[in-house]
Amino acid sequence: MNRTIALLFFIIPLLAIKQLNAQEKETFKKHGFTLNFTSLDKDFDPALKARMVETFFIIYPKLVKEYNKQADKEVNFVIDTAYKGVAATGGGRIVYSPAYFKNNPGDIDVVTHEAMHVVQAYKGRSGPGWLTEGIADYVRYKFGVDNKGAGWTLPEYKTNQSYTNSYRITARFLAWLESNGHKGIVKKLDNSMRSHTYTKDIWQKETGKTLDDLWKAYSENPTI
């Protein structure tokens, strides 16, 4: 047999095995929850994978207990080289970008934010997207295991901001509400989104003020 052909017969199966191993699903179980971890990146850092798994089992049971006891007991993590964002959640499946983690290896609380999306389990037209993301970042602020290590903080208030800016800006507003006479408001908002009962009137009902009035009060004294 031609030496080159023989070598190909040897190499191709090895490449196939390597690719198969990169896509192999690993299953972890703890505290009554299951995490399936699939990496489509053969070079994904095993230490980072271990930290992601550890973070999931630290924060996910807390989030389920705090916000939605009916949340999925089984969650899937997928490290996808084709995904170009940071992370995306649909149902009980979270897709992560290995490129993002390569550039931001300390940002482990992406797991916390995305895990909250699994717990939220909002269906279509449940409420405003800015509130969905604001709640998830508020939860990261409250439950994150290493926000400091990632250099992640809530931004200081600025006059050009709005509660509809989403993510950390909305999260800081929610944190202000929680610490300024409206403790438990995030849980009530979260539940209304999941139960499809959210309307803008909920702010007046739960706080005695409209959303715009609350933002005005926040803007005048934004200390948290």
pLDDT in tens, 49-101: 999 999 999 999 999 999 999 999 999 999 999 999 999 999 899 999 999 99
First-residue to last-residue Cα distance in the chain: 75
pLDDT tens string 181-195: 999 999 999 999 999
CA angle 110, 115, 120 (to 5 degrees): 130
pLDDT at 4: 40
pLDDT tens string 142-183: 999 999 999 999 999 999 999 999 999 999 999 999 999 999
| CA–CA gap between residue 94 and residue 90 (Å, rounded) | 7
| CA–CA gap between residue 25 and residue 38 (Å, rounded) | 5
Residue with tokens 């509660």: 163
Residue 209 banded pLDDT, cuts 50, 70, 90: very high
- Full-model pTM: 0.89
pLDDT tens string 48-63: 999 999 999 999 999 9
**Statement: residue 22 has pLDDT above 80:** no
**Statement: residue 136 has pLDDT above 60:** yes
Strand order from edge to edge, sheet including 93-96: 25-30, 33-39, 74-79, 93-96, 87-90
Region 118-141: what's the mean pLDDT?
Answer: 97
Region 32-57: what's the mean pLDDT?
Answer: 97
- CATH 2.40.30.160 corresponds to the domain 24-121: no
Write down the domain spans for the chain: 24-121, 124-224
Please count the other Cβ atoms lying within 10 Å of the Cβ belonging to residue 113.
27
> Which among 34, 37, 64 has a CA at the least distance from the CA of 48?
37
| CA–CA gap between residue 224 and residue 220 (Å, rounded) | 12
For the stretch 163-184, what's the b/e string if a residue is b when 16 or more beta carbons lie within 10 angstroms of its beta carbon? bebbbbbbbbbbbbbbebebee
- Contact (Cβ atoms closer than 8 angstroms) between residue 50 and residue 91: no
**Which CA distances in Å does 65 have to 9, 47, 168?**
54, 28, 23
**Statement: residue 219 has pLDDT above 80:** yes
Region 126-133: what's the mean pLDDT?
Answer: 97
Residue 19 banded pLDDT, cuts 50, 70, 90: very low
pLDDT at 24: 82
| CA–CA gap between residue 129 and residue 29 (Å, rounded) | 32
Region 16-26: what's the mean pLDDT?
Answer: 60
